[in-house]
Chain A
Amino acid sequence: MTITARSVAPERVSLDEAPRYTPVKRRRRLLPLRLRRLQDRLVAYGLMLPSMAVFVMFFYIPAAYLIYISFFHWGVLSSATKFVGLANFRILFHQPLFFHSLFTSAYYTLVMIPATVLLSLGIALLLKEAVSRRSRGAGIWRSAVFLPHVTPVVATSIIWVWIFNPHFGLANFVLTHLGLPALGWLESVHWALPAVIIDSLWHSLGLYVIIFLAGLSTVPRELLEVARLDGAKRYYTFRRIIWPLISPTTFFVVLLATINSWQAFSQIFAMTGGPHGGAGGPAFATTTDALLVYQTAFIYEHFSLAAAMSVILFGIIMTLTLIQKWISDRVVFYR
């Protein structure tokens, strides 16, 4: 019925009677330019506010407070907070364990960085080759390489503890079958840190492979084709073309690996704790700086001392990053 009524309606309306549609003029009062700019700025800050609030609340305030308490004698439960100046730092510089932990962290980092770059770039190159040759399962391999990175460190570290078990672990099984001597791994002062490094590499490699794959995809295909026509062999092409062109990616990977290595904690804690005594063993062989910070704060309850250690750790990472940035400005090629 409604449809009929609607269809009939226009016939009854003569042209004179037809409603006239006049455009409604919206008179918007424009604010002066200065006020409009202020308005825009306020909107922009308003949009940034939630994330800024989270950052300030959970990052900047704790970080600033950490630096603050490093100059105090401070306890979680004690109400007495006493300013001690650089005393905490002085104590640290008289602690051989602190220097040992710095050395362990440096060792861990110095092995992790080249191993990370070499292995992840190598795997990325192989995967890229597989994709360009349209090899079957290239996509599956790419996912498989990334998979360890998305698994929880603690869970996979426990599996690695079994693998490195000196009595029935897979690592020694393989070594003995290859005619090599079995190793003490996590029970050995010399081999505990390499075992942790192997686990860390396995866990973190996927992320770096994906970053390198992204970097490799930015190298124009034509350049590689020209190099082939120019008679450049694979290694020559890699060294003269691919390596310089992916240098920004390599720099990023080195930076990320440096920061992550100096902060390494979870895998060491999971692998060397429990049945092997306190984490960081045997005989402090795997006590890195980050682990010592944790133990000082939450086991020995010297929060101020731990804060001072963190400040030093922050200083080290900051210095290394600045050095890398200085080097990168001279070595890295940005298109």
Chain B
Amino acid sequence: MAAIAMKNVVKCYGKAKEEAAVKDVSLAIDEGEFVVLLGPSGCGKTTILRMLAGLEDITDGELWFDDRLMNHEPPDARSVGMVFQNYALYPHMTVYENLAFGLKARGVPKAEVKQRVHDMVALLGIQAAVDHKPKELSGGQRQRVALGRALVRDPVVFLMDEPLSNLDANLREQMRLELARIHSHVRVTTVYVTHDQNEALTLADRVVVMEGGRIRQVGTPSEIYESPADTFVAGFVGSPGMNLWTLRWEDDGEGISLDGALRLPRSFRPALEEVGATVTVGIRPEHLGMSLVKADVKVICRAEFFENLGSHTQLHAHLVASGTDSSVHELLQPDSEQSQLPYPSSQSRDSRRLVARLDAAASADPGEEMVLTAPAGAVNLFDPVTGIRMGEQSREYINASQRYLPA
């Protein structure tokens, strides 16, 4: 096992640094830790994985495995095991030969090869498939063989590039549990790339959320989910993502009114004053409810339609100003200060839209005005210009590149 440290790592495929696939990434991964790189397609997560494996050169920055600088080490000198998205099993070899290939290539004695392959086959539960070729195996078995081939050499770092994406939903869930079991057994430092947040949140010790070649947030699954560092993370993590509305606030003495559509308790005032006249408010769909009990936060919306998802109902609605027919979106004049704000693309969603996860019994007529409630703790405030979370977290986030560096 090895600890990994990336210091200001850059990867450019062309000459232009602005078009870099990975931009100034710094990250420290502890020995035995399971880290998931999560992000949309093209965010640079696979490139980072390939740089860790030595399959891509590092344009700039440093990569350390413990106290060894790995920038110029070839892949075979890194003792890295990797599982590819399409398994990349040798199609002309049996399962046994696939597992033994790496050991034989490194000149491990025959008896030891046999023993280690036997142990790995037992760990993965694929004894019956040992003499079969990959095309005779099911998707799950192929996945297990790919895992085994990477692990049988006792790598110091284990890399996985979207290993479950080729499996059907049921098998994916089963393999996710299997991966967790195998990791708890071998405890090897693991870096796992995925765009599936369920995999990220269930498997990871820590999740690294990436976008546009940069790290947006590093944290435990609950930190990422509950305290997203910015509006991108808030919108990307969670299904559906966090509701985000950019609104103007005013204190009417009884509480804080945000464009007449949202009411917050006065305790939010200091935080709001820090931002300015406009703020981006984020509330997760499952934190919104139809509770009749006096609630801290009220959201006024007009129902559009309900989706019955069995265990719960998903309400799709849009915010409206209290007592008026006009929506908040229409209240914001096109030439107003707010509309000129240079919002990142992640915030350019329709600012009125609302999704709430309600009880299965919840219902309302389309077009009906509804008052939803939420606990004060569920409210996230973001800077409307930078999209960064307000308060303590945001300052930590700004210094992220320093924070995640090893000493």
User: Interface of A with B (CB < 8 Å)?
Assistant: 220, 222-223, 225-233, 236, 240-241, 244-245, 333, 335
Interface size class of chain B, counting residues whose CB lies under 8 Å from the partner chain = 20 to 34
Q: Out of B81, B86, B102, which one reaches A222, CB within 8 Å?
A: B86
A232: chain B residues within 8 A (beta carbon): 76, 101-102, 105
Q: Is the CB of A230 within 8 A of B55?
A: no
State in angstroms the CA–CA spacing of A335 and B90 once bound together. 11
For the complex of A and B, list the 9 residue pairs with the smallest distance between their C-beta atoms, beginning with the closest: A230-B102, A222-B88, A232-B105, A231-B76, A333-B92, A231-B106, A228-B75, A244-B92, A231-B105
B88: chain A residues within 8 A (beta carbon): 220, 222-223, 225-226
A226: chain B residues within 8 A (beta carbon): 82, 84, 88, 90, 149
Question: A236: shortest Cβ distance to chain B, in Å?
Answer: 6
A223: chain B residues within 8 A (beta carbon): 88, 90
- If A231-B105, A233-B105 touch, does A225 touch B55 (CB 8 Å cutoff)? yes
Q: Is the CB of B91 within 8 A of A245?
A: yes
User: Interface of B with A (CB < 8 Å)?
Assistant: 53-55, 74-76, 78, 80-82, 84, 86, 88, 90-92, 101-102, 105-106, 135, 149-150, 153
Q: Is the CB of B53 within 8 A of A236?
A: no
Question: B237: shortest Cβ distance to chain A, in Å?
Answer: 29
Q: Which residue of A lies closest to B87 (CB)?
A: A222
Question: A237: shortest Cβ distance to chain B, in Å?
Answer: 8
A-B contact count (CB 8 A): 65
Most buried by B among A225, A229, A240, A244: A229
Q: A225-B82, A232-B101 are in contact. List 17 more A-B contacts (CB 8 A).
A: A225-B53, A225-B75, A225-B84, A225-B88, A226-B90, A228-B54, A229-B54, A229-B76, A229-B81, A230-B101, A230-B102, A230-B149, A231-B76, A232-B102, A233-B105, A245-B92, A335-B135
Question: A327: shortest Cβ distance to chain B, in Å?
Answer: 17
B92: chain A residues within 8 A (beta carbon): 244-245, 333
Q: Is the CB of B101 within 8 A of A240?
A: yes
Q: Which residue of B lies closest to A226 (CB)?
A: B88
A233: chain B residues within 8 A (beta carbon): 105
Q: Is the CB of A230 within 8 A of B80?
A: no
Most buried by A among B74, B75, B92, B106: B92
Q: Is the CB of B105 within 8 A of A227?
A: yes
- If A236-B105, A240-B101 touch, does A229 touch B90 (CB 8 Å cutoff)? no
Question: A174: shortest Cβ distance to chain B, in Å?
Answer: 39
Q: Which residue of B lies closest to A220 (CB)?
A: B88
Question: A334: shortest Cβ distance to chain B, in Å?
Answer: 10
B105: chain A residues within 8 A (beta carbon): 227, 230-233, 236, 240
Q: Which residue of B lies closest to A241 (CB)?
A: B90
B75: chain A residues within 8 A (beta carbon): 225, 228-229
B74: chain A residues within 8 A (beta carbon): 228
Q: Out of B55, B76, B82, B91, which one reaches A335, CB within 8 Å?
A: B91
- If A245-B92, A335-B91 touch, does A229 touch B101 (CB 8 Å cutoff)? no
Question: A285: shortest Cβ distance to chain B, in Å?
Answer: 43
B102: chain A residues within 8 A (beta carbon): 229-232
Q: Is the CB of B53 within 8 A of A229?
A: yes
Q: Out of B80, B86, B91, which one reaches A229, CB within 8 Å?
A: B80
